[in-house]
Amino acid sequence: MGPKAWGRPHPPSGKSRRLRFDYPRQGRRGLLRFVPSWRQLLGLSLICCAAVAALVGYVYSTVQIADVNATARAEANVYYWADGTQMVSVGAINRQNVPLSDIPPSLQNAVISAENADFYSDPGFSVGGLGRAVVNMARGGEIQGGSTITQQYVKNTYLTPEQTVDRKLRELCLAVKLSSSLSKREILQGYLNTSWFGRNAYGVQAAAMAYYGMDARELDPGRSALLAALLKGAEQYDPSLSEANHRRAEARWKYVLDRQVELGHMSWQERAKYTVFPEPRPQSVSTGLSGQTGYLVDVANKYIEKRTGLTAEDLGRGGYKIRTTFERTKVEQLRQTVDKVTAQTLDPERRAADRDVQFGAASIRPGDGAVLALYGGSDATEHFTNNADTAGVPVGSAFKPFVLAAALQHGVRSAGTVLPRLPVTADSFYDGTGALTTGTPWLLPERSATGALSFSTGFPTTLREALVAGGDDDGDGDGGNGGDSVYSRLGEDIGLEKVRDLAVSTGLLPQSMAPLERSFSVGTSTPSAIRMADAYATFTEDGRRTDPYSVTAVTYRGTQLEGLELPPGRQVLETEVAREVSRAMRDVAVDALGPDTLRALATPIAAGRTGDTDRLPAAWFIGCTEDMSTAVTVFRDKPGEGGLLPVTGVGGSGAERGDFLPLQVWSSYMTAALSGP
């Protein structure tokens, strides 16, 4: 057999025997021509390694270790009102540097055990962590991996918080350089003095004061373990922020203590002394964030974190210029209104029902979702929970417009049949057979004292009327033509899943939705005031919904951050559905508001409210004009009581509930806010 049968043909005499780079490969056919040989793969790998080595060498030779004090110098964050005037300057960083000799060994060991067990022997970086960073990069995820204490110190002190290949490479090179120029004790001291522990505390001294009111040198191993746990992320592990945080913090605290035993930093006998979780003291707030300012900054920061990826730690380092949507005049008008209503109606010295009363409110601009004003509580330095942006207060009958909208948009199921869904209007009602219909009055049976049966003309409650009406006519939540009964039946006839999905589509958060039980349609869900104001605006905007936003621009050292473009609007309801719900809601406004208020506002008003027969521990009034949508809620809450307190008798009105309070706040505030220039 000739040589041609065994391989590629010999080239003609006088020509090169092989191509310099045989790709695609001539000795293969079809797709196999594009499969590289092992020699080619090896060569390509060597070239890539050489390129990476050259890049690392170049970066290593060019990065410089700057002056620590100059680089880590703090700047304040400056927040601006919507008109561009300054609202507040928050900062500078709360940090007090202390020598390592003032940091107890228990805290040093806890941090090393939790963050970097090989700290004293590693070269400044972790090979495993570097590999994870490469894998994350290849998958398109964040460029991060288990950083060593040295790398974290470099990031805290010299670099920006961005997650890019360039920053990660510079972090690695600086960590190696730092390891060769500083001792491990010096690096550990720097790390412990620059790390973020939450509560606006940078460094262990500030953290010890913020969480336990003591100097760092006084910390015992139990408290030290909690501070070490916070390094994993204070937003998730500060136990005072939520029950979920508390569970995570306690589990991490136990892990840090057990890890010290595992690594030989603590004996089992010593570990056995720390079985009770060391509860930190309540969180305090800077006096510069007193009044409503702290609540405004809280909402702005949450929005920035959600839209840009910055963390509370990043914002805490300062240097950001933040332009908000808040209008100073409206914020002040809302505060003054709540204070006035509180002073005129509540008397906590004489009436126990008037104690621990909380107000929450928010105003949204229909059409684009800008948060114009909010009321989060009496003072952010004393009552830190933001009542305008918290879930946990049931919304009651103010939820009914979403049920009506779902009925108009989807119709109702025909009981016991496979017929298509039946159409519904706001004037539909449940007839004597229990069917939802639109028609003429029907006959009601009546029995006289002697037992004689007769019939009289009945006027059943329409869906429009039930939007205004209160609870059951018989009070059992089950029958009759009261407003709650009608809407409970209506929700089941629509399908509770469809009601929930429509409410969420208008802007209510899924996590605020209550279980899908019979009472769901009459307001057991717990949306925030901000979300209720925004969702109601959907009805007045012909079914077009825009997410609420509170920040229009953020700059950092002169560079504008991305991700803060105005949220786009989208159609979530049929136009005629939204208009019919709005018309029905105007009946609520006419029923609730006096003629003077209606004349003063001078524009059509769509409104929803809880009624005096709602059996829920809160009262709401939400009303929307073409210029502003405002939600107001009133409830009673006392820490340690395990839930909301009854609002029966609040204000001494003699009514079942203090449902008139949010109405008073809404009407006074809206009249003042919309009558100005």
Convert the pLDDT of each residue in 352-389 to its tens digit.
888 899 999 999 999 999 999 999 999 988 888 899 99
Q: What is the dihedral of CA 543, 325, 552, 164, to 10 degrees?
A: -110
Q: Are 364 and 370 in contact (CB under 8 A)?
A: yes
**365: amino acid identity, one letter:** R
Q: Which alpha helices (H) appear in 28-138, and where do they start and end?
A: 38-62, 68-71, 105-115, 127-138
pLDDT at 264: 94
- How many whole angstroms separate alpha carbon 177 and alpha carbon 171? 10
Residue spans per domain, the chain: 20-61, 327-395+546-675, 399-524
pLDDT at 147: 80
- How many whole angstroms separate alpha carbon 519 and alpha carbon 496? 10
Q: How many CB atoms lie within 10 A of CB 195?
A: 24
| CB within 8 Å of 565: residues ≥ 6 apart | none
CATH code matching the domain that covers 327-395+546-675, chosen among 3.40.190.290, 3.40.710.10, 3.30.1300.10, 1.10.287.3510: 3.40.710.10
DSSP 82: T
Q: State both tokens at 473.
A: 């006519």
* Tally of helices (H runs) and strands (E runs) in the chain: 23, 19
Residues of the chain with pLDDT under 50: 1-8, 15-16, 18-19, 58-60, 67, 69-71, 137-138, 140-145, 455, 472-481
| CB within 8 Å of 494: residues ≥ 6 apart | 403, 406, 407, 410, 411, 412, 413
pLDDT at 221: 96
pLDDT at 11: 54
- How many whole angstroms separate alpha carbon 35 and alpha carbon 25? 8
pLDDT at 318: 82
DSSP 340: H
**Percent helix, strand, coil in the chain (nearest 5)?**
45, 15, 40
Q: Are 139 and 160 in contact (CB under 8 A)?
A: no
If we measure between CA atoms, which residue out of 291, 294, 296, 301 comes closest to residue 327? 296
pLDDT at 417: 57
- How many whole angstroms separate alpha carbon 112 and alpha carbon 100? 14
| Strand partners of residue 196 | 202
- How many whole angstroms separate alpha carbon 524 and alpha carbon 508? 13
